[in-house]
Amino acid sequence: MTAAIHDRVRYLEGFTALAEAHAFREDVNCQWRVAKRPVGHITPDDFMWTEEPIPEPGAGEVLLKTHVLGVAPVMRFYMQGTGAAGERVLEPGDVIHGRGVGEVIASNRDDISIGEFWQGQMGWQSYKATSLTPQEKFFPMPHRDLPLELGAGVLGMTGLSAHAGWFACGDPKKGDQVLISGAAGGVGSIVVQLARIAGAKRVVGIAGGPKKCAFLKELGCDDVIDYRDEDVPQAIARLFPDGIDLYFDNVGGETLTAALDHLAMRARIVLCGSISEYTLDNPFGPTNYTNLRKVDGRINGFFVYNHLDRFEAVMDEMAGWIREGRLKPIQDVEEGMAFMPRALANLYFSANVGVQCCRVRQRTKADL
């Protein structure tokens, strides 16, 4: 075991111990709150577990029981109080923001019935009373014949991010030679498959470690680059002698620089995320962006919430591909709400494969 992997394992063990110190209770509202703002990587003492009475829904409100919570890199920014992704700025002591899937267990609204499932801004808590405000971006859970967990993945904002980034911003063309970073993560594992659906000629995925690279081959990548083990610029030069047509960027940093050095004519770069920079004090700026000029290329950023008007149509399309077996949802599920902090740590320490989420109530043997 290398020192780096050993450190990662020890780091995650701290979050396992944190989870094991908190027992989930059905009769109260279990919550994770910001204990203090993270500096650099999150640590267990940045989190605080609280238990409150289950809220009573007021006039015009429903009471939701949380079943699944999604986990995304942006949640570290919420904890830092940067007000990322248009969410209210969190103060120490606040319940951490997070989208999830909830079941209506009480309703003071004529248009919403007990037993319906909704996805939206639940927060890291096991119950929420809400009037489903526009700010919380709630949607009825689509396609209930498919597993509920997908609401925190392909049939939720991760799926919409992948779809909007790939189709609306990437402008994919049949025969494209495609590079995808963070390819084994939540968004990335969906984009790999969308690239196949869109008729890419070649799909190359970048991920860390042999296990993830083997997974990417199974998922449909023609070639993979293990950025922990290979020189990324050299590997890109070798794998793209004619240049990259479409680069879907989840990590930013030096990988983006390397891609900018190997662009084909009219290349497109989709700026989805830059996780390699999120814990840096100073943001990284590529110095070779002018390479775009040589190839009539373009960089296109996007923000998932700018695409909400297409949510239902995109979910219908994604569900269709799932049923046809063309899109395989890959989810990495933590069992039990106590493990939410570890689920977030997994993202920054590369422990997840596919969409990271958390089943709030651990499954019993009867569910399996």
Ligand X SMILES: NC(=O)c1ccc[n+]([C@@H]2O[C@H](COP(=O)([O-])OP(=O)(O)OC[C@H]3O[C@@H](n4cnc5c(N)ncnc54)[C@H](OP(=O)(O)O)[C@@H]3O)[C@@H](O)[C@H]2O)c1
Contacts with ligand X, residue ranges (CB under 6 A) = 72-74, 158, 161, 182, 184-188, 207-209, 212, 250-251, 272-276, 302-304, 347-348, 350, 352, 356
Distances (CA, A) of 110 to 61, 86, 107, 159, 282: 10, 30, 8, 30, 51
Strand, coil or helix: 104: strand
- Among the listed residues 184, 157, 155, the one whose alpha carbon sits nearest the alpha carbon of residue 323: 155
What b/e readout covers 116-139, taking b as 16+ CB neighbours within 10 angstroms? bbbbbbbbbbbbbbbebeeebbbb
Minimum CB separation from ligand X for residue 109, in Å? 30
* Residue 100 φ then ψ, to 5°: -165, -175
Of the candidates 161, 192, 357, which has an alpha carbon nearest to the alpha carbon of residue 271?
Answer: 161
What gap in Å lies between CA 81 and CA 33, rounded to an integer?
12
Least distance from ligand X to the Cβ atom of residue 325, Å: 22
Q: Which of 157, 173, 135, 130 is nearest to 68 (CA)?
A: 157
Count CB neighbours of 111 within 10 A. 8
The closest alpha carbon to 162, from 307, 293, 266, 58, belongs to 307
Cβ at position 74, least distance to ligand X in Å: 5
Torsional class of 86: left (φ above 0), alpha (ψ -120 to 50), beta (otherwise): left
Shortest CB 46 distance to ligand X, Å: 18
Q: How far is the CB of 219 from ligand X (least distance, A)?
A: 13
Counting every residue written for the chain, the total comes to 368
Sign of CA dihedral 86, 90, 94, 100: positive
- 125 Cβ contact partners less than 8 Å away, ≥ 6 residues apart: 29, 30, 31, 32, 66, 95
Least Å from the CB of residue 85 to ligand X: 7
Q: How far is CA 331 from CA 117, 151, 185, 189, in A?
A: 19, 11, 9, 10
Q: Are strands 99-107 and 117-121 parallel, antiparallel or unpaired?
A: antiparallel
